[in-house]
A and B are shown apart, each in its own frame.
Chain A
Amino acid sequence: MMDWAVLTPLAPLLAAALVLLVAARWLGRDVDRAVPWLAGAALGSSLLLVLLLSSRRAEAFGGILVWDALAAGASGVVLAGALAAVLLLPAHAERRGLHSADFTLLLLLAAMGLVVMSCAREWLTAALALESASLCLYALAGYDARRASSAEAALKYFLPGAVATGLLLYGAACHYGATGSTRIGAGSLSGPLGTLAAGLLLAALAFKAGLVPFHSWVPDVYAGAPSPATAFLAASVKAAAFALMARFAMLSLPGLPAGTSLLVLAALATMTFANLAGLAQTGLKRLLAYSAVAHSGYLLVGLAGIRRQDPVGPLLFYLASYALLTVGAFAAASALEDPATGGLEISRMRGLGRRRPVMSLMLAACLLGLAGFPPTAGFVAKVMLFSAAWARGLEVLVVAAVLNSVVALAYYLKPILAMFLQPAPEGAEHVDPPCWTAASVLAFLGGAGGLLLGLFGDL
């Protein structure tokens, strides 16, 4: 039976996008000041609808789109990430002289695509949603085109992205060949063609989620894209990609003998490589980018061996807490970044703890949360995810993930060490950019919210 409930969260986004499209043409840059309010209201009401509908179960278009706990949770993270990007936008646009109406329009359209992707249960729908979101995302990454790093980010995101789309479509075709349907979970994937389909589809999603060995775009794009776009990429795109991957892993992979080992290998490679590479970083944004890749690896630990009837709660809790902490950390990084280059070298952060005590404390709290330090949300999320994996018999993978957390702790400590333990370098007079309210709010949400979520999130 057709149930329009699935589509209702999209309605405010579409309406706001249409208004923006028209208004921006007619009124030019005058609308810039009203844009964040409009987009914020649209995203907020959409988020509210998701919350209201979170316990609803529905299908639309003959089961092509589904609304379940996974779709609701991932959509919530997508929309919250978009909201964070909208919050960060005005100050960033002002500093860089960017036109915020177009940026917001692209953001809303991308968010719509990602929400559809979280609900998709059919590969062609998923491909369409992913592609419509990706086209906006390429533009968002390169939005600050006068800055070479932003243009570079767009290109580096576009090229692997185009390959990923090709893989996705080819994988969907193989899926059809193996099972006679493009529906996720229809028929069992088996035999060489099924394995090929699974491999291609997983590879395509691995590009989007930033999994090793398809991760090489992540650091450049995260560091080069405008900060609001980075926050959106890190939180929302990852949530949608993992929702689709989780659906695939739960519905199709249990029938495939190689499915679990594929995910286990990808998890091991992603965690280990990203954490070792993270050790070598000197810039905060690149460090956070490698941390984002490493967290994709931890999320895969939660996906490996998952079955249809397993609860998705641990995965969603992990996605939500990761998004909260990562957006908080990126918000702090964007507030502290060098206005000229958009970068933030860790060596420049020396002594920040004394100059900006609250912001530094919040950034430190976000980083400790990402490191999985108790009792933050990052810790609770890891316990939930890893204990579920342990219960599925993946003890060795959990031990590997835990060992990885030790390595990760070493690089998460680097910015904290610079901020609090090292004095500001003498001679070089540092002028810290003024802190933005929105960035402070987000950093505070990440730091303090992460702590509260860790203490009370499971109650």
Chain B
Amino acid sequence: MSASMAWLDPVSFLILCPLAGALAVSLLPGRNTAVRLLALFFSGMECLTVFALWRALPHSGWAFSGTLPWLPSVGASYHVAVDALSLSLIGAAALLTVLVVLGSWTQVKDRVAGFHAWVLVLMAALAGTFASRDLLCFYVFWEAVLIPMYFLIGIHGGPGRLAAATKFVIYTAVGSLLMLAAILAAARRGGHWEFSLDVLQASQPLPGRLEYWAFAAFALAFAIKVPLFPLHTWLPQAHVEAPTGGSVLLAGVLLKMGVYGFLRIAFPLFPAAAAAAAPWLGGLAVAGILYGALMALAQDDLKKLVAYSSVSHLGYCMLGICTLRLTGAAGASFLMLSHAVTTGALFFLVGMLYERSHSRRLGDFSGLATKAPRFAAALGFIAFASAGVPGLCGFSGELPVLAAAWKARPLWALGAVLGVVLGAAYLLRAYQRIAFGAVRCPDNNFPDLRLREILVLAPLLLLAVFLGLAPRFLMAPLEACLSGGLFQ
């Protein structure tokens, strides 16, 4: 950052840049091309900033911190900083935002300015969530994520969007408002309030039962967001009704807020409660892996299939954390990023499929490999990556999680391996139905991927290969920033 930017720390820039973009975009209603270009510009800036920060990021610890006073009377402040985990999650959000803008170029035709404004607001809120180092500040950004997502689903979604948007907000609000009470519990330290995460992590845990109650409230909020089985019921509905861009960001980044919350807040602040709850949470994670996979296997709607596959994959992330081992936690973090890549690409592909034929039913398609070879190739490739084929990104994350699970509880590992098999089954089943056999699709008209669509998918496909071949690129910094505390 240049000297003239000294008044603005780089992490705050990551939050303000998309907000400025949202403001700019919302001032141009009706001028759709200008809106799309502006949104592309601001999200591109975000991406480049993340990249620059990543290169300058120290080996471990929090960096680029920025603070401003906010609520001195209760002792809360605006405090942001990033480490490898949070910066890489912000990076995933930024990249997916760029691709969402690009990908919705022809898919979103109505209220274009509003759509892009909300996408950019969502980006800002996500950046704030992953960068907050103050509990109340974290809560503000955590809740702020709800509003843009509510409007993205509710305005730009499918026929059942109203119910889905309302369910999404109420479901998550129940968890997060209880979290507010838990924040008060966690921040009350010896007669005064302390909201700084750095200070809270270094200080004594809460006394007695209070720690367990506070952990339970945090865990509920985070588990709803993940979503951990059996709190996942909002997710398939939200995904099916959300527009493609909304689904991409929802599965790609929003769900990771829950896992991130466990990793960064619930586990470090309440170590004893976390250690006691880990076996239960891990069991639920395995149940979610299997349940999500079985449900995905039973779906005829491709979007719902991908949504349930997210439930399954996020189960691995939770399982990795619940092993309470560094390899597991780092694998889980890696898996979050790899899932952002694969699920983002999958939702884009589903969106492209739907845009061409107005159907997402597996039964409506077959033989697209002949009709649209590029589409089928991309789908197959990403299905392999998602299923955890060695050499691609899914495998590099799942392997350490499975290894850690085996060391922690072999039964978990067995369940999770069964999940991998089921994962391969539902993805290959879907791919086989769509790609092979006699050519059949609604209207008998299925143009292959256009240049813009290839541009949307290419970065994700390349990342899937890169992360698969060079996992240490991410894994090493993630391990460095996660080690300590519960994760030895």
Contacts and interface: CB of A to CB of B under 8 A. Distances in A.
B177 interface: yes
A421 B71 contact: no
Interface string B150-187: 01001100000110011001100110011011001100
Which of B140, B151, B177, B178 has most chain A Cβ within 10 Å? Answer: B177
A421 B147 contact: no
A370 to B, nearest CB: 14
Interface string A375-396: 1000110011011001100010
A384 B74 contact: yes
B182 to A, nearest CB: 9
B72 interface: yes
B67 to A, nearest CB: 13
User: Which of A373, A402, A417 has most chain B Cβ within 10 Å?
Assistant: A402
A6 B140 CA distance: 40
B158 to A, nearest CB: 12
Nearest to B140: A374
Contacts of B72: 458-459
A403 B184 contact: no
Given A374-B144, A405-B177, A406-B173, A417 B69 contact: no
Interface string B43-70: 0000000000000000000000000011
A409 B169 contact: yes
B166 A387 contact: no
Contact of A402 (B73, B144, B181): B181
A313 interface: yes
Given A374-B144, A406-B177, A421-B162, A387 B169 contact: no
A367 to B, nearest CB: 12
A314 to B, nearest CB: 8
B175 to A, nearest CB: 9
B73 A406 contact: no
Given A375-B140, A387-B74, A410-B170, A421 B161 contact: yes
Contacts of A375: 140, 144
A383 B136 contact: yes
Interface in B125-165: 136, 139-140, 143-144, 147, 151, 154-155, 161-162, 165
Contacts of B185: 390, 395
Contacts of A368: 147
- A373, A387, A413, A417, most chain B CB atoms within 10 A: A387
Contacts of A391: 188, 191, 193
B174 A421 contact: no
B170 A409 contact: yes
Nearest to A454: B140
A101 B154 CA distance: 46
A399 B162 CA distance: 29
B220 to A, nearest CB: 12
Nearest to B153: A421
Nearest to B169: A413
A398 interface: yes
A402 B178 contact: yes
B154 A420 contact: yes
A349 to B, nearest CB: 14
Contacts of B139: 374
Interface centre among B136, B147, B162, B181 (most CB of A within 10 A): B181
A387 B193 contact: yes
Given A379-B140, A395-B185, A455 B70 contact: yes
A422 interface: yes
Nearest to B210: A395
Contacts of B174: 406
Contacts of A384: 71, 73-74
Contacts of B147: 368, 373
Contacts of B151: 420-421
A389 to B, nearest CB: 9
A421 B154 contact: yes
A395 B169 CA distance: 25
A387 B165 contact: no
Contacts of B140: 374-375, 379
A402 B181 CA distance: 7
Interface residues of B, number: 33
Interface in B21-46: none
A417 B162 contact: yes
Nearest to B176: A406
B404 to A, nearest CB: 36
Contacts of A380: 71
Nearest to A317: B73
B143 A374 contact: yes
Interface in B179-210: 180-181, 184-185, 188, 191, 193
B154 to A, nearest CB: 4
A314 B191 CA distance: 17
A313 B155 CA distance: 40
B79 to A, nearest CB: 14
Contacts of A395: 181, 185
Most buried by B among A399, A403, A417: A399
Nearest to A410: B170
B173 A409 contact: yes
A406 B170 contact: yes
Contacts of B71: 380, 383-384, 458
Nearest to A313: B73
A380 B74 CA distance: 10
B177 A403 contact: yes
Nearest to B78: A455
B212 to A, nearest CB: 14
A413 B154 CA distance: 12
A282 to B, nearest CB: 16
* From A374, A391, A398, A409, residue with most partner B Cβ within 10 Å: A374
B173 A398 contact: no
B162 A383 contact: no
Interface in A219-264: none
Contacts of B161: 421
A403 B170 CA distance: 12
A68 B74 CA distance: 22
Contacts of B178: 399, 402-403
Nearest to B180: A402
Contact of B181 (A399, A409, A459): A399
Contacts of A387: 74, 184, 193
B177 A402 contact: yes
Contacts of B181: 395, 398-399, 402
Nearest to B68: A459
A409 B74 CA distance: 24
Interface in A389-442: 390-391, 395, 398-399, 402-403, 405-406, 409-410, 413, 417, 420-422
A413 B162 CA distance: 11
A356 to B, nearest CB: 14
Nearest to B142: A374
Interface in A44-96: none
B484 to A, nearest CB: 30
A290 B73 CA distance: 30
Interface in A137-173: none
Contacts of B180: 383, 386, 402
B162 A459 contact: no
A420 B184 contact: no
Contacts of A390: 184-185, 188
A420 B71 CA distance: 32
Contacts of B193: 387, 391
Contacts of A379: 140
Contacts of B177: 402-403, 405-406, 409
9 contacts: A314-B73, A375-B144, A379-B140, A383-B136, A402-B177, A406-B177, A409-B169, A417-B162, A421-B155
Q: List the 8 closest A-B pairs by CB distance, nearest first.
A: A374-B140, A421-B154, A458-B71, A402-B181, A375-B140, A390-B184, A374-B143, A399-B181
Given A374-B140, A405-B177, A413-B169, 15 more contacts: A374-B143, A383-B136, A384-B73, A386-B180, A386-B184, A395-B181, A398-B184, A402-B178, A402-B181, A403-B177, A406-B174, A410-B166, A422-B162, A458-B71, A459-B72
